[in-house]
Amino acid sequence: MEERARRIVESAVELAEKGGFEAVRLRDVAAHADVALGTVYRRFRSKEDLLIAALDRQIGDYQQHLLQRPPNGATRLDRVTSFFQGATRSLCRRPNLARAMIRAVATGDPELTQKMAAFHNRVNDLVTMSLRGASAPGEGVPTNSEEQALARTLQMVWFASLVGWSGGVHGQSGIVEQTRTAAELMLRDSDE
Amino acid sequence: MEERARRIVESAVELAEKGGFEAVRLRDVAAHADVALGTVYRRFRSKEDLLIAALDRQIGDYQQHLLQRPPNGATRLDRVTSFFQGATRSLCRRPNLARAMIRAVATGDPELTQKMAAFHNRVNDLVTMSLRGASAPGEGVPTNSEEQALARTLQMVWFASLVGWSGGVHGQSGIVEQTRTAAELMLRDSDE
DNA sequence: GCGCTGACTGAAACGTGTTCTAATAGGCGT
DNA sequence: ACGCCTATTAGAACACGTTTCAGTCAGCGC
């Protein structure tokens, strides 16, 4: 990402951190990034696009972090549970920002299909990685279909939980519990 | 719901059916319902609130429909699969409307926590009903915790799938497939 | 150096969700 | 019938996402 674009995203993040979705007023973002409003719109199609870019960035960072310290645990259930716990904690550390980004990605604007899909794929990869243990995704072992189904289902449960949290339906612990419960239900008999 | 409010919701539904979320301009809704703009805001906190009310109404209708023809099938997997297939078809019959309502409920405005929760609970009840077979929810059998966990997880998978469909990430068949896959993973050993 | 091109700027303008206000209407107890 | 209260109305007003436009600037080929 180019310098100017990065400044814009960072400004959006700062504003979102303080005041959530509504606080990300694009005029303010532009001013804060020392850029004209038109420039923001040259780089990003919409407010949602901008916030999804922020989310993408954050996931990238977390992916880096995971490569250093891959989720450990003896069983798939342990690893996947601890992965979601860590990811949730990391995301919810800045609740206003998290809510803003989740709202953007949940809006489901058809203009942003690709970026939504990219987000889901990234999370999918992380889940797959945690299911397997150490190894990075796309390396060595080909994904079998059970693994794919597991990863996608867990990713969706996490997403739905995040939306619920974002709307105040339940607390941060609810996210972790719900994903763990789902993982337990799907990995009942597995102990590998 | 009172007459005036019903007219407002119905107007919103008509507009959404034709042009989706953006087509639901509250000025138009008011004009169409033969009501002043202020009256719309007296009854509904926001555009999202209005569309969630439409969703709630639609779920209520579908629940009625289900009481007449409860999902049939020998196993839990069969019933739950056929339930989601039917519900998805029913919802996606009017795609613009569906997308508008889903967007509203996915936005996760903390003002609307209660209505979001109500939506999730209603879907939960329907899923529980289909897991059990004929009997209505809350009657006779108390919900055990495995059943609760199953229902909630499946409801979340369905919701996430709907959001994905709404954003164009996958087609209507993707919704059905993803929920079926999740159900299969969780009901592998069960044949009751 | 010169001109071209594409990005950037500042500012205005537009649409729509949301709020506000003053005026009116309708019902209800007395 | 009268006063009161609440819902409703028409319409203005405001905020903010988004678009548009005319003017400026920077780099780059020549």
pLDDT for B135: 55
Does residue B134 register a pLDDT over 70?
no
CB A186 within 8 A of CB A150: yes
Please report the pLDDT score of residue B75 as a whole number: 94
Report yes or no: A23 and A99 within 8 Å, Cβ to Cβ. no
Residues in chain A closer than 8 A to B109 (CB atoms):
167
State how far the Cα of A7 lies from the Cα of B2, in Å rounded to an integer.
Answer: 51
* Residues whose CB is less than 8 angstroms from the CB of residue B128 and which lie 6 or more positions away in sequence, other chains included: B137, B143, B147, B148, B151
What single-letter DSSP state applies at residue B168?
T
| Residue B138: pLDDT over 60 | no
| Confidence band of B108 (pLDDT split at 50, 70, 90) | confident
| Residue B137 pLDDT > 90 | no
Interatomic CA distance for residues B145 and A34, integer angstroms: 54
- How far in angstroms lies nucleotide C10's C1' from the CA of residue B179? 51
| Residues above pLDDT 70, as percent of chain B | 94
The packing angle between helices A145-166 and B172-186, to 10°, is 100
pLDDT, one tens digit per residue, over B37-46 is: 999 999 999 9
Nearest residue (Cα to C1') for D9?
B36
Query: What's the confidence (pLDDT) of residue A134?
Result: 67
d(CA B52, CA B37): 18
- Does the structure show a pLDDT above 60 at B136? no
Q: Is the CB of A41 under 7 A from strand D?
A: yes
d(CA B164, CA B153): 17
| B163·A167 Cβ contact <8 A | no
User: What CA–CA distance (Å, rounded) separates B159 from B165?
Assistant: 10
CA B154 to chain centroid, in Å, comes to: 13
Report the pLDDT averaged over residues B38-67. 97
What local confidence, expressed as pLDDT, does residue B185 receive? 96
Q: What is the pTM of this model?
A: 0.94
Residues A101 and A15: beta-carbon distance below 8 Å: no
Provide CB contacts within 8 A for A163, sequence distance 6+.
A102, A106, B106, B108, B159, B163
Between CA A39 and C1' D23 the distance (Å) reads 16
Kindly report the average pLDDT of chain B as a whole number. Answer: 94
Going from the C-alpha of A11 to that of each of A14, A32, A95, A142, the distances in angstroms are 5, 6, 17, 40
Contact between the CB of A30 and strand D at under 7 Å: no
Q: Tens of pLDDT along A139-165?
A: 567 778 999 999 999 999 999 999 999
Positions of chain A with pLDDT under 50: none
Mean per-residue pLDDT for B133-162?
84
Q: A182 and B153 in contact by Cβ < 8 A?
A: yes
Q: Which residues contact A33 (CB under 8 A, 6 or more apart)?
A: A4, A7, A8, A10, A11, A40
Taking the CA of residue A26 and the C1' sugar atom of nucleotide C22, their distance in angstroms comes to: 35
Q: Is the pLDDT of residue B92 over 60?
A: yes
- The residue that minimises its CA distance to C1' of C20 is B38
